[in-house]
Amino acid sequence: MDAYLEIGMDTTLRSLLFTLILTPAFVFAATREDFDAAYAEYQQLASSGDTEAMLIAAEKAHRVGVEVFGKDSINTANLALNYATLLNETKRFEKAETYARQALRIQQDAYGRSSPKLIDALVQTGKASVDFMSVERQGKPRAFFYFRRAQKIAQKNLNPVSIATVNREIGLHLASIGTDGTEFFEPAHEIYRAELGEADFRTALMAFHLGNIELSKGNHKRARNLLESSVRGFETHDSYREFEMTARGFLIAALEELGQREEATRHCLVIGEKKPLAADEEMTPVYRQPPAFPKIALRNFISGFALVEFTVDEQGFTQNHQVVDASSQVFHNTSIESAKTLRFAPRFVDGEPVATDGVTFRFGYEVVGDRPFSYIKGRN
């Protein structure tokens, strides 16, 4: 049972092809043939990458399935869940909720409220519910009610890796919509680390997401530890290179915030060497903080900019700063001070880091209504 569920939960991140439980039913041959044809079409499209065609086929298979098996059949529930999964993946949440709830209701009636067979339906119902802001007593979107039920059922019924996989899927979905998934990422990370080790991709991915969350909360020490763990996991496989580079970028931010600039330099150099810039490729900061808004400009609601030119040295620091253009002199000092905090992955030539002169960035200051904001971007 556990092995089957582990496979099932792993594939939930993509489109699910639930195995239909073909219960005895009195149907007309033509209607059953219609269903077989509709479901075969859906299966054929499942690996095509044509999402819109898959949605049409999944909806048709469900509609014909209702006629063949009845609206309360487990087969109907599985067909509804297939359709709901695709609707969620394409962010059609309101419609997905209708079909996910249908599947959940049928499965609960058939298996009881505590069966592990409900986990997929609970997760999909939760995903569909995230789009709506009905709130529980705890102040969380109602999606968390379904997610926590799935988490609890998994905890009681599945093997450790399958438990982690359920939590991982929920956490990844919450991350994709900008919601804090810590309560799901943390148990997933702990289990994967204990069962699979730090070098496993799943462990590293959970550490990465947790580190990113802690960084956004200003918990820089914990963010550093988690992101260092994720880097150690990702760097063991070349196929994880992009994940490794992204994790190092966030780690540089944590280290800079902690004042550990020398350690940040090590990661700047690794990024520069492993992901070298083309000769004509513009440099992009791996760490930046928006410039402070000048008080005099803020008091007088003045918007403006300054263009600062500098050299990126062999260690990714900025040197030799000068303002080459500005809307007002009032923006000179704050722009130069901000430019000094930028960190870059240095350009590499023949395997060695080199300085790059003439790098220019725009430091912008805007007042919209009574709200000031500042930004940094490339010259263009």
**Both 307 and 177 in a single domain?**
no
Q: What is the pLDDT of residues 103-150, one digit of tens each?
A: 999 999 999 999 999 999 999 999 998 654 444 444 457 899 999 999
**Both 168 and 302 in a single domain?**
no
Smallest CA-to-CA distance from 166 within 126, 111, 209, 197 is with: 126
* Residue 368 covered by a domain: yes
Q: What is the pLDDT of residues 270-329, one digit of tens each?
A: 999 999 999 889 999 999 999 999 999 999 999 999 999 999 999 999 999 999 999 999
Q: Tally the residues of the chain.
A: 380
* Residue 256 covered by a domain: no
* Residue 140 covered by a domain: yes
Smallest CA-to-CA distance from 103 within 146, 129, 71, 131 is with: 71
* Residue 272 covered by a domain: no
Domain containing residue 66: CATH number: 1.25.40.10
In order of 78, 251, 324, the CA distances from 302 in angstroms are 60, 35, 20
Entry pTM: 0.86
- Its domain, for residue 350, covers 295-378
* Residue 224 covered by a domain: no
* Residue 187 covered by a domain: yes
Per the CB < 8 A criterion, the answer to whether 88 and 53 are in contact is no
Residue 151 pLDDT: 98
**Both 160 and 32 in a single domain?**
yes
* Residue 343 covered by a domain: yes
**Both 183 and 324 in a single domain?**
no
- Where is the domain boundary, 196, 214, 232? 196
* Residue 42 covered by a domain: yes
**Both 9 and 142 in a single domain?**
yes
Name 213's Cβ contacts closer than 8 Å, sequence gap at least 6. Answer: 180, 181, 182, 185
Confidence of residue 19 (pLDDT cuts 50, 70, 90): very low
- Where is the domain boundary, 135, 164, 196? 196
**Both 28 and 159 in a single domain?**
yes
Q: What is the pLDDT of residues 342-366, one digit of tens each?
A: 999 999 999 999 999 999 999 999 9
Domain count, the chain: 2
In order of 3, 149, 282, 292, 356, the CA distances from 279 in angstroms are 50, 53, 9, 32, 11
Residue 279 pLDDT: 84
**Both 47 and 185 in a single domain?**
yes
Domain containing residue 342: CATH number: 3.30.1150.10
Query: Cβ-count burial of 323 within 10 angstroms (0-12 exposed, 13-18 middle, 19+ buried)?
Result: middle
**Both 186 and 68 in a single domain?**
yes
**Both 321 and 172 in a single domain?**
no
**Both 43 and 184 in a single domain?**
yes
Angle between helices 74-89 and 93-111 (to 10 degrees): 150
Per the CB < 8 A criterion, the answer to whether 336 and 308 are in contact is yes
Statement: residue 181 has pLDDT above 60:
yes
Separation CA 165–CA 1 (nearest Å): 15
Query: Cβ-count burial of 263 within 10 angstroms (0-12 exposed, 13-18 middle, 19+ buried)?
Result: middle
- If you average pLDDT over every residue of the chain, what do you get? 90
**Both 179 and 302 in a single domain?**
no
Name 330's Cβ contacts closer than 8 Å, sequence gap at least 6. Answer: 294, 296, 297, 302, 304
**Both 308 and 181 in a single domain?**
no
Residue 141 pLDDT: 74
- Where is the domain boundary, 155, 173, 196? 196
Q: What is the dihedral of CA 71, 74, 80, 82, to 10 degrees?
A: -160
Smallest CA-to-CA distance from 203 within 219, 221, 216, 191 is with: 191
